[in-house]
Chains A and B, each alone.
Chain A
């Protein structure tokens, strides 16, 4: 059974700092991995999707990497801004038509 863990559970950083969020998963037979952003009480916004054959994806100030063999992914946020404050969720889709499995998220606060 796939399990996804995100560390840390919460993070507070000053504006302008670069930061890394971590995601680990127990079953490396994944189809893809997604990073989502969730604002309080709102739905999920997909940030980056990495296919199992890829090593990383970039969008603006965000860079996500994937190391399938070690069961790890990182989300790097450059030059953080107060508007980046949100919960960031990692989700894994296993091969074999199984549902998305989510971590509990990392709650990020960027202080101006």
Chain B
């Protein structure tokens, strides 16, 4: 049984560009949450998707958007990248919005 998978593993982008990160949830899970983890910090909640809708959102600007597909996989999009967007982006899946969250390996985004 595959756990949570994320792609790509690493990504380097230039300021002002746009990026899309992908997440496939653990089998049987229907909810995906995204987190941003800056170096030396704990993960910060970005948003959560359930039934293809954004259910909760953290304190992130509208440059951060997402999508959930009918197969429960999810994308995180970031527009107009800033240097401060450099971080490890973590995806977590769960069975419903309050279930135990299982985390993927993350995508390391570097903005130059």
Complex Cα spacing A44 to B97, Å: 19
**Within the complex, what minimum Cβ distance (angstroms) separates A21 from chain B?**
14
**Within the complex, what minimum Cβ distance (angstroms) separates B39 from chain A?**
10
What is the count of residue pairs linking A and B with beta-carbon distances less than 8 angstroms? 56
Contact of B58 with A102 in the complex, beta carbons under 8 Å:
no
Contact of A43 with B105 in the complex, beta carbons under 8 Å:
yes
Size band of the interface chain A makes with B: 20 to 34
Contact of A102 with B43 in the complex, beta carbons under 8 Å:
yes
Contact of B43 with A44 in the complex, beta carbons under 8 Å:
yes
User: How many residues of B are in contact with the other chain, CB < 8 A?
Assistant: 26
Beyond A97-B56, A99-B33, A101-B45, 9 extra complex contacts between A and B, CB < 8 Å: A4-B42, A41-B108, A44-B90, A44-B103, A49-B100, A89-B43, A98-B56, A100-B45, A102-B44
A–B Cβ pairs within 8 angstroms, 28 of them = A31-B98, A34-B100, A34-B101, A36-B103, A41-B88, A41-B106, A42-B105, A42-B106, A43-B6, A43-B90, A44-B103, A46-B101, A46-B103, A89-B43, A91-B43, A93-B98, A97-B55, A97-B98, A99-B45, A99-B58, A100-B92, A100-B101, A102-B43, A102-B44, A104-B40, A104-B41, A104-B42, A105-B42
> Could you tell me which A residues sit within 8 Å of B by CB distance?
4, 31, 34, 36, 41-46, 49, 89, 91, 93, 97-105
> Could you tell me which B residues sit within 8 Å of A by CB distance?
6, 33, 35, 40-45, 48, 55-56, 58, 88, 90, 92, 97-98, 100-106, 108
